[in-house]
Structures are given as structure tokens and as C-alpha cells.
Structure 1
Amino acid sequence: MNTKYIDLISQTYDFPQEEFQLQNNQLSFHGIDLMKLVKQYGAPLKFTYLPKISDNIQRAKKWFSEAIEKHNYKGDYHYCYCTKSSHFKHVLNEALKNNIHIETSSAFDIDIVNHLKQSGKISDQNYIICNGFKRDQYVQNIAELINSGHKKCVPIIDNYEELNLLTNVTNKDFQIGIRIASEEEPKFEFYTSRLGIGYKNIIPFFEDQIKNNEQVELKMLHFFINTGIRDNAYYWNELQKCLRVYTRLKKVCPSLDSLNIGGGFPIKNSLAFEYDYAYMIDEVINQIKQTCEEEDVPVPHIFTEFGSFTVGESGGAIYEVLYQKQQNDREKWNMINSSFITTLPDSWAISKRFIMLAINRWSDRYERVLLGGLTCDSDDYYNSEQHMNAIYLPKYEKEKPLYIGFFNTGAYQETIGGYGGLQHCLIPAPKHILIQKDEYGNISTELFKEQQTSKAFLNILGYHES
């Protein structure tokens, strides 16, 4: 009878996979010996495998290049990184090795842009696409970037007041984009995105505020779907509506030459994950070209804003199972030495699932369990996998420590969880490790941040030492 954990995983999924391998009955991730990492740094810990960021950027660029060549598409492609997915310096430094551009969403983002410019990581040749609802400081920071001579700073107009706010504080000509307020998927609680300007109002807005404004030039139409780029009727229908607006607008606005198909790619959330990225890009390029040919307008340059796709698959978290509680005849709770609410907040807030695997003891028998965090909140748990209605792990044995890993957690979790700030029940944020690989395949690690201390919490709370 196949009762070992390795048997369960092998029978349920196609395993091993490109990034997941077994070495001496222990899990490795992109060739990283995870148990060696635990022995060196302890658990809980979080890690960022930096080469995966560049890898995903280059994959996307390759797919777009192939589609553009196949369809003889006459526009260029520009890859933008959404900083809101992860603002960390090490993430931006790695991403910017790949000749990309930046998308911002708030005032402090521009401070990061300025820092990157001063350190030579970006230049005036990098597009800075400024999204989000803009008021006061954000407007001022954008204006200062434009006034400094950064001609490729492109504010995306979100509402009817923003253009006037920007022109009042800028002293140079600049380019802008307009964000379309797309219609949301039927399952949403509302029909239309709160962001952007409605389909029917975009051309009247151009005629009223942009056409005769000598200071600004409309360059870009920004199209964003909250659920991302997916092969379903909803996405293709919204894309076609966007393209009809683009072609109509292009006929009255010659300066319009770019389409930003914001809304990212999904990332791997299960060992059973399937998504044909190359096909989707090919079809997007094909539909844009066909629609433009039908309307007899030049095809636009393509911008994408990939956040989770850029950084998500670089991140992971490792916990130790501290104790098992048998709460009734069916439910066994494995208690981890951290908290899901604080370290993987999406698992609690939006029931997001990540890839979860045992790190060690793959040859041991398995059992069905629930995973509980350390806080006293009843919602601090993780109870199922993306394609299973339960969690199975090697059987708990007090004398044989069990470590588990959550993978592809690199997007949003730190910022949503309030990195370096207060945590629920004052559970400390774990150590954070950066992992790099050189051209010869040698792996090196660096401690980015120690586990949060009591002193750090007390200072935030006002219990300052006298």
C-alpha cells in the first residue's frame, strides 16, 4: 500500500517539477537545499529567490517578441513592473537588470523612483507610468518628476479633476494616459470599476480637456481587468470594447500610440497549475492587430504592468510544526510556529491558496491535518489546498521535527501584512533571507532582516525606554 507522503504527491500531481525536486528525502526549490537553509537560519523564515524575478521578466519578453514577429506586428513592447507588488530595494534592483519600466500607484512611489534615478538604476529613458487616484502629494511628486525633465513620466488620468491638478503645478509639456473604467466580472458586487473613466465618456473627455490643451499630449489608453489576463469570454469581451474605444480615439487623436493592457498574469498556485502564457499573448496581439486593421488605424505600442507575475514566484515561507492538537475524533491541528494572518495575510483575507509542501520526511506516512497559527484568532488557519479539500502532511511525531513550506508568496504579503510594524497578537515577523545564484549555479544567501524584536514592538506602541 502506498502510504508515504512521496507516494501521495507523486500520485496526485506530476512530480517532480522544474522548481521542485527531492534530494535525500528532502525538498529543494530551484536547487536550494531548504533544510540547509533551516539549519543555518532557523524557522520561521521568509526568503526571496532573486533570480526568479529576472527569469519571469525574460519569459514574458520572449513570448511577446515571438508573437510580434509571428503576426508581423508593427508596434513595440514595453514591460513595466508594478511596484505595489513589492517595493523592496532588492526586488527593484533585480527587476531593473532587465531593461524594464516602472508603474507607480502613490506619492511615496515617486520617492523610490527618485532614489533609483540617483543610484543610476533607472534614467530618463525609463517610462514611469503613474497610476492610481491622485491628490496633493502624489500630484506634486509627479509634477516635480516632470519638471525635472523626465519626459517619459506618463500620468494616467483617473478622474476628471486630475488633469487640471497636474497642469497647475507643472511648467513643462508632458504626455498623459487615460484609464478606462472597465466593467467588472458578473460575480462582483458592483458593475464598473471605481478607477478610471467610463467607456462612453473617454472621447468627450478628450474633446473637452485634452484636445485644445497645448501643454499635454495624449499618448496612452490604459485598460485594466481586476481578474487579470484570462482565457474566458469576459476578458475577451472587455478587450474588444477597449480596442473599439482605442480605434475611435486614435482617429481624432493622432498622438495616441500606446495601449496599456494592465491586469497581470496568474502565477502558479498549485502543482496542478496550468496556463498557456504563450497562447494568451499570441491571441492578445492577434486581436489587437485584427481590430486595428478593420478600423484602418496603426497598431499601438503595447505596455504591460506585471506585478505578481514578476515577483510572486520568487518568494517563500518556511515554518516548523510545533505541536499537534487532536480536537475531536476527526480533526488534527498542526500548530505552526508563526501566524498565517501576519505572514500570509492573503490566505486569511481573500482565502488565497499557495503551493504548500513538506520540506522534510517525505518517506514517512502521511495524515490529514488542519494548520493553525499562533494567534488567538479563530481565523488564523489554513485548511485546504487549491486542488484538494484537505491538507496532507507527514505524520506528526514529537521527536522528529517537521518543516513545511509555502511557495510563490512573493507578491503583496509583506505590505499587506505591515512589514516591520505591529502584528496581530504581537507575533513577530520572521527572518527574511535573500537568495542569489551566480553564473556558475552557485547559490549564496544573505540575511536581509532579523526576526522582529520585542523592543521594536514596544517602540511602535509608545513604550519608549526612559
Structure 2
Amino acid sequence: MKEISPSQNLNVLEKPLVQKIINLDPIKKLEKSSAQSQWSIQDSEELYGINRWGIPYFSINNLGHITVAPKGNRGRSLDLFKLVKALEERSLNLPLLIHFPDIIEDRIEELNSCFAHAITRYNYEGSYQGVFPIKVNQQRHIVQAIVNCGNNHKYGLEVGSKPELLIALAQLKESNALLICNGYKDQKYIETALLARRLGYQTIVVVEQLSEIKLAIDTAKTQGIRPVLGIRAKLSSKGDSRWGNSAGDKAKFGLTISEIMEAIEQLKAAEMLESLQLLHFHIGSQISSIATIKEALTEASQIYVNLSQLGASMKYFDVGGGLGIDYDGSHSHFPASKNYSMQNYANDVVAAIKIACETQKLKVPIIISESGRAIASHQSVLLTNVLGVDKIPTFPIDIEKDKCHSLVQEMANIYDAINSANCQESYHDILQLKKEGESLFSFGYLNLKDRAKVESLFWQCCQRIQGIVNHTNTGFDGLETLNELLFSTYYCNFSVFQSLPDSWAIEQLFPVMPIHRLNEKPTELGILADLTCDSDGQIAKFIGSQEVKPHLELHQFYEGQPYYLGIFLSGAYQEIMGSLHNLFGDTNAVHVRLDSEGYHIEHVVRGNSMAEVLKYVQYDSQDMVETMRQKTEKALKEKRLTLKESWLFLKHYEEALCNYTYLR
């Protein structure tokens, strides 16, 4: 899909001859004005919003490359384009996932600092201990980085399953760090969690279903271990995000108020009420409005103080997750944003709990938050390369008045007459003519050759109208669909289903932009398509300054020249939730840390080979090779294949099994 050089494109305002219309190449999607050379870094910053969603980690340097400052305002920055080139020289092919553990450390430091400031501001006599929900990103090097970076803050882990519990037990080092055990539980889960207390772990088993109370009581008596228990409450307050059903009467997890009272009675009967020490609630992920958080805190605080008054030895208040990040940089009550800062969040949590406890003259608890997205999102950048571009096809057209179909001539006349005064009317006319042409063709009144002419003329008219609109910079009613018709498709070397499943499943917005050429004006409007054969394998919604855009501004793609795109803030959930659609596996991943000499590659995690991916779906690569060997022997015997051809085929087959699932 080779691009044509700019000099070959027709001027959007130039009229062709009526008798003969020749358009060798599509007109650019955006008018390339004389101000092209005046395009600045600041223009790119505004266009892609990097100064809204990227601070303090991402910015643009004077070369027009994105830079990454892994330690935020406390350290140096790296040129992302140069880093990618250096990694390619190490045979780390794109798509490539780059992790920055220094960003994880900075996020943990910021979260703890915010709560420390809030505790000081409100004279709160308790403390804060965060935990990271492993479900957000279970990759070993990520969990290790979180444990290591959070060690000074007694930063713990939260698990929601037995496999995650096993990970946490193997990774946690600090005996004072909390291990919050959520999720569905059976006897073995609870036994493991209780026995871990003998090893010095601060495990807290959070009851999510009423049936787990009896399990916990029976297991504790059998093991002779006094447990520390928590209760997850179903709040009437509900989140405002896609995950709002995490709370409310129909929430998947948690106990209703009546169930909480029943749990209290069961614990009293077992003489274990003092084991109940924690209240937990969760109203959803990525909460965009601080008002929603305040409402939930008010209700949960009252549950906490009432549990204390009923005799429970309450010590911990777990506010769950929900702390959002600003994907689009709008600082608004929008699903891809949030209208509060991390400091606002910490202030409201501390203030609400203090007021409730002070009113009832109770000792304030240790505050726990399970902030995963806010910790993990920024540390990961997905890099992909553009493989080619699909533009609206236009071809040379010869029109002779006495030979062509009247519909073709009518379309050609409209093309000749298009100007700034009639472009709106012309657009509606050509839409109707195109529809008529399709209908005439279906009934046999228009041949294939003339239909091709109608189709090509339609696209040329659209391009000419768009050129006039962009040139005059005037909005025309009724032309809203024009740009959408003329988008280019940029084919990128990755799988949406593997690397950005939330983009496909719930239309989550992630910042997407080129990582270089940002000192050049982008002249194309496009959407991104991945390598899968699924029509859903694309990104067709992008963040804008005030609204969601159906396109991304991109630069012209030249065959043989690399064009790299970055997908940012994708470190939460995406890596672990990816699927093997079309058997595209995990991407290559590297962990990059700053050091005194610049940076070093801390870890390299090679992406899946084809043999590894095939094993997931129960195919044995050795059996497959042997099957193909037998088939080539049969073809040789029947003289359908030469010995050299059979050797070459088997060589390609075996090499492919060992190779990366993505294109090289």
C-alpha cells in the first residue's frame, strides 16, 4: 500500500477538463496549507492533548519525539523514539510493550504522600496502608516492582482468587504489609490464608458471601488459629462508571445490611466477634465523580461505626478501588476522565472517616485503599508500527459524452461545478446518484464498467468537497458524515484483542499518538486496524479536547520508512485480560529503569512464539512437524513436489513455529 508523494496530488481547487477527468491519486484528507512549515511542538501538544493526560511522565522534545520521565518531576527523561530504535537493534521487534518500574515507584510515592498530607491536614490519629489488587496486572515483574517500591510504605497486596493468593504469598516481603483476601472462597482458600498468619503474613479474610462466615468459623476452629476477618458491604450508593453494578442490591459481591447483622450473630455465637476487624466496600472502577465517592464514604462510615458499637473489634476501613485516572485529560465527569485529583480523593476519604468516628467518640481506623488502575496504568506504553495505509481508491477515468451512461455524465458534471457556494448541495446530490447507481446495477441497467466510473467519481467529488471545506475552514450543515467516509485505515502490527481488550469490549479510550514526527503537521485522518481478521479489530474512537473523535490525525505514511504509534496509560488490566484471537500471543515486553548513565534494560520478556500459542489450544508442534513431513514425503513420491521444494517448505514451517506471532 504505497503512498504517493505529495507532489503528485491534485490541488483540491483545480478543475479538471469536462471531457476527460484524470485523478491519479487521492486528495489529502487534510489541507496541507502554506503554514505547514510553521507547525510547532505546541501544536502537537494541543492536538493530541499530551499536556493534559501525560503530565508529569510524557512530553514532546525539540526533535518532535515523545519523551518519558519515569520519575516524574524528580528525574531525567528518555527519548521514546530513540529507545525503540535501540530496542529494535537488540532484535526486540514490534509490537513492543515497554514497562517503566520507576513510574510505579513514583505513583506509589504520590499516593502515600497524598494520604500523609490529608492525615496531617485533618489531624487524623490513624494511618494509611495501601494494597495493590493483583488482578490489575499479575505479571511477575510488575508485582515484584510494586512490592519492592512499596516496601517503605508497608504497601501490601489484594487477591481475589487462590492462584493470586499463592502469588502474593511468594512475593510479599514486609511482614507488616497487609494481604487482603477477597473473592469467592472455599475451605482450602481460607485454610491457606489462616495458616499464612503463622508465617508472619498479615492476612485478612474478607467475607464476600454470607456462607463464608460459617466456613471461616469452622476452619478457624479446626486449625486453632484466630482469624482476622473483614466484611464487604453492599452499599446503596452506586458508582457512576461502567462498573457501577459493583454496588447496590444486585451487586455480585458483598453482604446486605440484614446479612451483615446475621454475620454478627453467627460470630457472636461462635465467640469470634472480636475477629471482625475490617469493613470493605467497592463501588466500581474508574470513578469519574468525586461526589459519588463522598456519598459512598458517608454511608460506609456509618456502617463502620455501627459495627464497632455492636462489639466488633473494628480496626481497618478498606475503601476499595475506584480511584480513577484522566485518560482524556479533560478533568471532567466523563467515563474516560475524573473531576478530582489524587489529593482530593485522599482528603475526602480521611475527612469522612474522621467525622463519623469523632461523632461517636470512636478510635479512627487504619485506612486501606485498593487502588490498582491509578498505580499501574501510566507505567506501560504499547508501541506498534504502521504496516500500510488503505485510502479511498480512485483511478484514471475517461469520459466521452456520447458513450458513457447518463448517470456517469451527471456525476461528472457535478464534479466540474463543485465550489464553496454549492458544496453542501453537491454532497447530497452525489449521495443520491451513488445510491441510484447501485440500484440500477442490481437490476441490470448499469454495467460493471459504468458502475466503477460512478463509484470513482463519487469519491473524487467527496475529496474535492472536503478539500474546499478544509481550505475555507467553514462548517457546513449536513456534511458531518463526509470526513467519516474519507478516513484512511492505518494497518498496525498488533492485536486489539490481545493488547487492548477494553478498547474492544467496553470502548475504553486510551491516548494514542505518533511518538515521532511531532514537529510536522499531520495531514491525514485515519483509524487504526490490527492484524486480526475480525472487523472489530480496530480503534475508531480517540480522545479529543472536548469530545470523542471518530478519527486520529496522522502523518503521511511512506513505504520503507518506519512510522511508530504509541498507546499510553494501558498498564491496568489490558496485559492480563488479552485473548488469543487469531492466535496472536503476548507481545515482546521490556522493563526499562533509569540509572546514572541513562537507562538500562532491567528485564526482557519475549513474546509468545507460534509453538507456544498453539500449545494453549492443545496442538503439539512436534506432532505438527511430523505430520507435514509425512505429507511432503507423499507429495515427493507422487512427484507433485521436488526434493528442494519439500526441504524449503519444511524449513519455513519449522522456523515459523519458533517465530514471533506478529509480523517482522
Counterpart in 1 of 2:506?
350
How far residue 215 of structure 1 moved from its aligned partner, in angstroms, is: 8.3
Look up the SS of the partner of 2:390 in the other structure.
Answer: strand
Q: Could you say which residue in structure 2 is the equivalent of 1:115? A: 170
Match of 1:334 among 486, 490, 500: 490
Q: Deviations over 1:100-126 (max 9, x none)?
A: 11111110122113322xxxx514322
The residue that corresponds to 2:538 in the other structure is 381
1:63 aligns with 2:143: no
Task: State the secondary structure of the residue aligned to 2:228.
Answer: strand
Letter in 1 for 2:361: D
Q: Which moved more, 1:299-308 or 1:186-195?
A: 186-195
Match of 1:226 in 2: 284
Q: Structure 2 vs 1, CA of residues 249 and 194 (structure 1 numbering), >3 Å: closer, same or farther?
A: same
The partner residue of 1:84 within 126, 131, 135 is: 135
Deviation at 1:377, TM superposition (A): 0.8
Structure 1 CA distance, aligned partners of 2:170 and 2:97?
Answer: 26
Question: Against the structure 1 CA distance between its residues 442 and 299, is the aligned structure 2 distance closer, same or farther, given a 3 Å change threshold?
Answer: same
Question: Which one-letter code corresponds to 2:231 in the other structure?
Answer: I
Which residue of the partner structure matches residue 54 of structure 1?
A: 105
TM-score normalized with structure 2 length:
0.65
1:249 is aligned, of 272, 285, 307, to 307
1:96 maps to which of 125, 147, 155? 147
Distance of 1:320 and 1:415 partners within structure 2: 22
Q: Aligned residue for 2:224?
A: 171
Out of 162, 167, 184, the position equivalent to 2:212 is: 162
Q: In structure 1, how many angstroms separate the alpha carbons of the residues matched to 2:135 and 2:345?
A: 24
Q: 1:11, 1:111 → 2: CA distance? A: 46
Between structures 1 and 2, the one with greater helix share:
2
Which one of 581, 592, 597 corresponds to residue 435 of structure 1? 592
Q: In the alignment, which of 278, 282, 296 is matched to residue 238 of structure 1? A: 296
Q: Does 1:19 align with 2:57?
A: yes
Q: Does 1:266 align with 2:321?
A: no
- 165 and 441 in structure 1: CA distance in 2 versus 1, 3 angstrom threshold: farther
Partner residue in 1 for 2:381: 316
Deviations, residues 232-286 of structure 1 (Å, cap 9, x unaligned): 4333222211111111111122511211010231123134456422122112211
Distance in 2 between residues matched to 1:452 and 1:215, nearest whole Å: 50
Measure the CA separation in 1 of the matches of 2:349 and 2:194.
Answer: 34
Give 1:441 shift: 6.7
CA distance in 1, matches of 2:509, 2:289: 21
- Structure 1: state its 5+ residue gaps: none
Question: What residue number does 2:614 align with?
Answer: 458
Q: Is the 8 A contact 2:217 2:270 kept in 1?
A: no
Equivalent residue for 1:35?
A: 81
**Larger Rg belongs to:** 2
Q: CA deviation at 1:72?
A: 0.7
Deviations 1:365-393 (A, max 9, x none): 31210111111111111112233413112
For 1:217 and 1:18, the matched residues in 2 are separated by 43
- How far apart are residue 64 of structure 1 and its match? 0.6
Matched, 1:413 2:464: no
Q: Secondary structure at the match of 1:313?
A: coil
- SS of equivalent to 1:142: helix
1:17 Cα deviation after fit: 4.2
Question: Are the counterparts in 2 of residues 175 and 219 from structure 1 also a CA contact under 8 Å?
Answer: yes
Task: After superposition, give the CA deviation of every residue in 1:320-361 in whole Å (9 maximum; x if it has no partner).
Answer: 011111247412100101111111111111111112120111
In the alignment, what sits opposite 2:347? 282
Counterpart of 1:172, as a letter, is I
Structure 1 SS opposite 2:591 = strand
The answer to whether the 8 Å contact 1:174/1:216 transfers is no
Q: Which moved more, 1:47-56 or 1:79-88?
A: 79-88
The structure-2 alpha-carbon separation of the partners of 1:8 and 1:372, relative to structure 1 and needing over 3 Å to count, comes to farther
Q: In the TM superposition, what are the counterparts of 1:440-451 in structure 2 within 5 Å?
A: 440=596, 442-451=598-607
Q: Which moved more, 1:338-347 or 1:94-103?
A: 94-103
More deviation, 236-245/61-70: 236-245
C-alpha separation between the residues in 2 aligned to 1:105 and 1:95? 17
* Pairwise CA distance, 1:229: 5.0
Mind listing any 5+ residue stretches in structure 2 that lack a counterpart? Answer: 1-32, 70-76, 332-338, 394-458, 460-485, 624-664
Judge conservation of contact 2:41–2:60 (CA < 8 Å) in 1: no
Deviation string 1:273-322 (CA, Å, 9 cap, x unpaired) is: 56422122112211221122223322221111111112111011000011
Distance 1:427 1:355 in 2: 23
Worse overlay, 283-292 or 9-18: 9-18
Equivalence for 1:106: 161
SS of alignment partner, residue 349 of structure 2: helix
Give secondary structure in 2 for the equivalent of 1:221.
strand
Identify the residue that residue 437 of structure 2 maps to in structure 1.
none
CA contact (8 A) 1:173 1:215 kept: no
**Structure 1 SS opposite 2:230:** strand
For the 8 Å contact 1:247–1:297, the answer to whether it is kept is: yes
Alpha-carbon distance change, 276 to 198 in structure 1, aligned in 2, over 3 angstroms: same
Q: 549, 552, 556: which is aligned to 1:391?
A: 552
Deviation at 1:145, TM superposition (A): 1.9
Quick one: distance in 2 between partners of 1:200 and 1:104?
Answer: 26
| Amino acid in structure 2 at the alignment position of 1:405 | G
The SS at the match of 1:182 is coil
TM-score (norm 1): 0.90
CA positional deviation for 1:447 = 4.8
Q: CA RMSD in A?
A: 2.4
Q: 1:270 to 1:443 in 2, by over 3 A?
A: farther
Are 2:407 and 1:368 aligned? Answer: no
Cα 1:459–1:233, aligned 2, differ >3 Å: closer, same or farther? Answer: closer
Q: Percent identity?
A: 23
